[in-house]
């Protein structure tokens, strides 16, 4: 994944986690909101990698676009590289 990491200036959203009992209630969106507001304020793109297909729609709702879908390891699970342009 590191070889695929964007070279241009951006904020990297490394990790976000929500207790399974709280998923689907907007907590993930609330956790991302301050950083995405900062990205927009500073006109800086954001980048993340998702290892769960079910999280891709969450990120897409926040204007991330899938850049690439790739296996984490040969024959292994997939990961999604995602990019968000500032609003």
In this structure, the strands spanning 64-71 and 46-50 are unpaired
Averaged pLDDT for residues 5-25:
93
**Per-residue tokens: 85:** 């342009």
Q: What is the pLDDT of residue 76?
A: 83
The CATH class that applies to domain 2-84 reads: alpha beta
Sketch the domain layout of the chain as residue ranges: 2-84
pTM higher than the cut 0.75: yes
Residue among 60, 87, 85 at smallest CA distance from 8? 85
Give residue-wise pLDDT tens across range 27-78: 999 999 999 999 999 999 999 999 999 999 999 999 999 999 998 888 888 9
Residue among 69, 86, 60, 53 at smallest CA distance from 4? 69
Angle ∠(60,63,66) on CA atoms, nearest 5: 55
């Amino acid at each position: 994944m590191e070889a695929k990491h964007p070279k241009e200036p951006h904020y990297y959203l490394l990790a976000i986690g929500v207790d399974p009992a709280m998923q689907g209630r907007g907590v993930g969106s609330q956790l991302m909101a301050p950083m995405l507001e900062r990205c927009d304020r500073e006109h800086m793109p954001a980048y993340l990698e998702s290892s769960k297909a079910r999280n891709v729609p969450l990120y897409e709702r926040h204007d991330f676009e899938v850049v690439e879908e790739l296996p984490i390891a040969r024959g292994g699970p997939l990961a999604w590289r995602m990019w968000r342009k500032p609003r």
